[in-house]
Chain A
């Protein structure tokens, strides 16, 4: 029996820019189950990073939660973290229950502050003795394949791959239940990507983290470790499916487009050749009417321009928001 660890219900989170809104996350619902790796995939600008901030309740200035709830499992019940303020969630959950590796975390580290300082800062904000936490990070560094002497170095001395491993070691130091990783491998070369994925899967296997939300634009990377997939397009979830089933038979035309654009040296891929999705994701200040994918969709019908397809379950465990599927059912 799968139990959800995190529930997202009808969330809308917009960037408020003067009088206009960037509808970066616009009516999104899904769950993250205990013990699973949930992949979130979509092109740049589809709202993935915004979503990760919403999951953490890391809402800052232009970003506001307009509607919806985010619930996190605490003990036997669920805590509605969306009703708490950012500071409250930060104090009670960050680091201990949920942690994030933000996009471009590699560059977020100040080049002039030693890595050890970050760890000490973590100890301070959680009232843990410094020595205890330093001992912990030394062990954790070794586990991710970094010599603890690197704690005394500055971030700019690290190579990209090492920096990303340092970031994950620090982020998971307090054994959070949920780890959200936003494009952690996108700036790495394939060799370092694989090393990072190994570290990540080790952490899950050893129970350091229970569930992982892995965000990326690269389906081929997700394929290596995700159990289920959430496909995002223009601020909306367009498909939720178990990974293997999605690979075998993608439902949403966008999912199919993403899969068909992947280039890997495999016979299946060589046979189908290179195809791309024409155009680019829309501006989210004024997204297209109806189905937001219709200007790029080869199957677009009249109804697609007028009405918005709802996300509905079409097979067991598979949801899709597309009239190709829902019209027949309705």
Chain B
């Protein structure tokens, strides 16, 4: 098992004088095998991003454990080098392509960061060639990208660069948190294809997070349906989409806009 998540919970507490609690993630458990693509599907606010951040070691959990390659992400990574190793092996693509780039730097900064994290002893020219190759790999012309600032590129192009970053690192695990929800519908398929290719080439496991079951249907080996912080149903894409059992899954399925069939209950 590449990733094991057990009884993961996160409660946000706000306010000092008047305390309020939000149970964003409740008792979530699942496992992901090497080279497997799983999807976490649910509407906004269901706790998907919170789960992702805990797995990525960006947000400490309230309870539960996350084992990556057998090591507890939050308890076993003590040494600096261990942590860097973890960062190399587990990476992410986030939802908002605009917020994924610091507006003060050219977009390729994110690729230089990846090369630095790799820590390989390469000449500057080799590094630049690696960057160019990664861009070509995700279907971008380095000419159109290098030296550009974030606002000069489209959302789809920016998400492709994020995948180029993953391609440089070739991690064992990628958390893709709604990588397609803020870009053009016509660019979504391309991003999904690239993620699939990462899996084919390197055996990367991917956790694909989305609110759109329709997209999850295409990429996943297994789908987890999340509602109010809990996983309420799990199964293969066909099971979930073609014969959903849980009421909430049925709502999700009926909410997917289809191309060849109009929703009947709109009017």
Contacts and interface: CB of A to CB of B under 8 A. Distances in A.
A192 interface: yes
B147 interface: no
**Most chain B CB inside 10 Å of its own CB: which residue of A187, A189, A277:** A189
Contacts of A190: 43, 211-214, 252, 255-257
A33 B43 CA distance: 35
A61 B43 CA distance: 39
Contact of B257 (A220, A247, A259, A277): A220
A223 B184 contact: no
Nearest to A187: B182
Contacts of B212: 189-190
Contacts, number: 131
Nearest to B258: A264
A265 B214 contact: yes
Interface string B164-197: 0000000000000000011011111110110000
Contacts of B185: 217-220, 258, 261-262
B186 A263 contact: no
A201 B193 contact: no
A201 B259 contact: no
A223 B189 contact: no
Contacts of A257: 186
A191 B252 contact: yes
**Most chain B CB inside 10 Å of its own CB: which residue of A257, A259, A277, A280:** A280
Contacts of A126: none
Contacts of A205: 267
Given A159-B44, A261-B185, A276-B187, A223 B192 contact: no
**Most chain A CB inside 10 Å of its own CB: which residue of B217, B237, B261, B266:** B266
B192 A247 contact: no
A219 B189 contact: no
Contact of B189 (A45, A189, A261): A261
Given A43-B184, A159-B44, A280 B156 contact: yes
B154 interface: yes
A53 interface: no
Interface in A244-267: 247, 257-259, 261-266
Given A192-B44, A220-B185, A274-B189, A280 B154 contact: yes
Contact of B259 (A197, A219, A225): A219
Contacts of B267: 198, 201-202, 205
Contact size class for B?
35 or more
A269 interface: yes
Contacts of A191: 43, 211, 251-252, 255
Contact of B186 (A225, A264, A265, A277): A277
A270 B155 CA distance: 26
Contacts of B30: none
B55 interface: no
A132 interface: no
B262 A44 contact: no
A275 B262 CA distance: 22
Interface residues of A, number: 45
B170 to A, nearest CB: 23
A242 to B, nearest CB: 14
Contacts of A197: 263, 266
Given A160-B44, A225-B266, A280-B156, A263 B218 contact: yes
Contacts of A218: 185, 257
Contact of A261 (B186, B254, B256): B186
Contacts of A268: 259-260
Nearest to A261: B186
A136 interface: no
B157 interface: yes
A192 B46 CA distance: 13
B260 A265 contact: no
B257 A192 contact: no
A221 interface: yes
Contacts of B43: 189-192
A175 interface: no
B241 interface: yes
Interface in B198-220: 211-215, 217-218
A266 B266 contact: no
22 contacts: A45-B154, A189-B211, A190-B257, A191-B252, A191-B255, A194-B263, A194-B266, A197-B266, A198-B266, A220-B257, A220-B258, A224-B257, A224-B263, A224-B266, A262-B185, A264-B258, A265-B213, A266-B258, A266-B260, A268-B259, A277-B186, A280-B157
Interface of A: 43-45, 159-160, 187-194, 197-198, 201-202, 205, 217-221, 223-225, 247, 257-259, 261-266, 268-269, 274-278, 280-281
The 3 closest A-B pairs by CB, nearest first: A189-B211, A274-B189, A265-B217
